[in-house]
Amino acid sequence: MNASEAKDRYAVIGNPVGHSKSPFIHGRFAAQTGEPVEYGALLAPMDAFVPHVSAFIEAGGRGLNVTVPFKLDAHAFADSLSPRAAAAGAVNTLRVDSNGIYGDNTDGFGLVRDIEVNLGVSLKGARILLLGAGGAARGVVLPMLERAPHTLIIVNRTAAKAEALVEQFAQAATDAACRLSGGNARAIEAGAFDVIVNATAGSLEASLPECDDRAFGSGTLAYDMMYGAQPTVFMEHARKLGARGADGLGMLVEQAAESFYVWRGVRPDGAPVLAELRALLAAPSHA
């Protein structure tokens, strides 16, 4: 048997998927851990998620990362869900084993790990402001609450969406002894926050989410889930107000590391892969 035949097959599925960094990241993780993993990319038509996944599994596929726009399809496809996937209402990681198809969501874990380990900011006892109440925001609320912050305020242009998230996670907030509230931009409390997370897609259109400038202070970490070769408009705005800006590249790497752990039971070290990816993004070809 040659080396390629001995490897377990994994892939990222999405539309589009050609830009995905996941094959690079998981290739590095496989090399680092010595796990026999072969990882590719799978482009599926918008209306053909299930047949493409089924064919991949029938051909021996062991697991998938799921990206836009299929995270809800993956949630429906899974036979069983992790608590964090159930809370997120979306799945970004599928594992195939003797028990069937297991759906997990590692996005929120990736965010928390990047903030706490890579950026060195503890969420325990912190005042956190979450901008946005869509799928990206929903996926990170429970993992953040599990770190026992002092306060978590969810702000969204449509206040009702933020209030719905507050209602959904009320029990988890109580369990964590965290004060959870939400509404529109007027719901932001006075004073600077320890962490502000931009979970809106605003940076894709170079637009800023609604947020009081006074929420940013010299001790604030302003974290944008988006990333690019250049700092996002949100990060630039935060820096002008004296805050520290960070993008979501570390979240991408750390959610991938958690997916790898879900599949293989081995946790790779994200830091060197993040450093390599950061250097690649900064290269002239990405400018």
155 close to 129: Cβ distance less than 8 angstroms = yes
257 known ligand binder? no
Q: Which of 7, 71, 124, 240 is catalytic?
A: 71
200 known ligand binder? no
85 close to 140: Cβ distance less than 8 angstroms = no
158 known ligand binder? yes
Q: How many residues are recorded in the chain?
A: 287
Tokens 């990241």 belong to residue: 25
159 known ligand binder? yes
| Tokens standing for residue 20 | 């995905």
124 known ligand binder? no
Question: Which alpha helices (DSSP H) does 169-207 contain, by range?
Answer: 170-175
Strands ordered across the beta sheet of 244-246: 179-183, 151-155, 127-131, 195-198, 221-224, 244-246
157 known ligand binder? yes
132 known ligand binder? yes
22 known ligand binder? yes
Give every CB contact of residue 179 below 8 A, 6+ residues apart in sequence: 150, 151, 152, 173
Q: In the annotation, is 124 catalytic?
A: no
Ramachandran angles phi, psi of 161, nearest 5°: -70, -40
99 known ligand binder? no
206 known ligand binder? no
Binding site for NADP(+), residues? 132-136, 156-161, 225, 248
Binding site, residues? 20-22, 67, 92, 107, 132-136, 156-161, 225, 227, 248, 255
Binding site for shikimate, residues? 20-22, 67, 92, 107, 227, 255
Mind telling me the catalytic residues? 71
